[in-house]
Amino acid sequence: MTIKGIVFDLYGTLIDIETDESMDEIYRTIAHYLTYHGVYLHRWEVRERYYRIMKQQKEASGEEHPEIDVEAIWNEFLIQEGIRSDGIRGQLAKVVAHIYRGVSRNRLQLYPDVKRVLNELQASYRLALISDAQSCYALPEIRAVGLTGYFNPIIISSHHGFRKPDQRLFKKALERMGLEPSEVISVGNDMFRDTYGANLLGIKTIFIDSNQGAKSYEEVAPSYRVQRFDEILTGIASLA
């Protein structure tokens, strides 16, 4: 069947990102910021509470591959600190989540040739995005690197409560594209999340051996393997 769509992963595939969530500076900054909203905690208390609520959220999900929701984590955090107004608390939870991400982020940039290749592909294919990510991080970061408008749909795991390789994320993308598994190619950098996940539905896969992601998983093999992003053009031509 003719290939009509290309489904991309985001981080480690299109965007080269580096974060360090172990930095004391993250929790110190948040602790200081929250004093302006009547919350008085030491940075170690902020860290401990954040990870405790995250653990509880995962345990309550019941999913095989659970995804957290960082805005919901901070929302619960603020409830515990006595901030009762839903509107104020929701806005503050998003601000704190952005502070967390902004301080922890060391690098955010496109891999070489990403835009050139996407410009070429969008003339012939529907482009979609499936990312294990937080929407409050991913959507602004997509804008920041200039990728707005390339992908429809954009499927982000935090909206659904589960992560790749869960087939449902791929199915959601296919349903919204109106395409069958045989009509798309999945491109990603993680052999477990991306390649294995797509293989479960019989989707052809291109594995990008980038500086991130799992390089192997059991007996899983991609349909095509590349070292650089521009090489996916050859891969797509071969598989199509």
8 A C-beta contact, residue 158 and residue 135: yes
What whole-number distance in Å separates Cα of residue 219 and Cα of residue 214?
13
> 240: pLDDT confidence band, cut at 50, 70 and 90?
confident
Strand positions, DSSP E, 60-142? 105-110, 126-131
Long-range contacts of residues 220-223, Cβ cutoff 8 Å, at least 24 apart: 220/191, 220/192, 220/195, 220/196, 221/195, 222/191, 222/195, 223/185
Decide if pLDDT at 223 tops 80.
yes
3-class DSSP assignment, residue 78: helix
Q: What is the pTM of this model?
A: 0.94
What pLDDT is stored for residue 164 in this prediction? 98
Decide if pLDDT at 77 tops 90.
yes
8 A C-beta contact, residue 215 and residue 227: no
Instruction: Calculate the average pLDDT of the chain.
Output: 97
Q: And the tokens for 44?
A: 């170690």
> 237: pLDDT confidence band, cut at 50, 70 and 90?
very high
What whole-number distance in Å separates Cα of residue 209 and Cα of residue 227?
5
Average pLDDT over every residue of 22-41: 97
What is the per-residue burial (b if ≥16 Cβ within 10 Å, else e) of 67-87? bbbbbbbbbbbbeeeebeeee
What pLDDT is stored for residue 125 in this prediction? 97
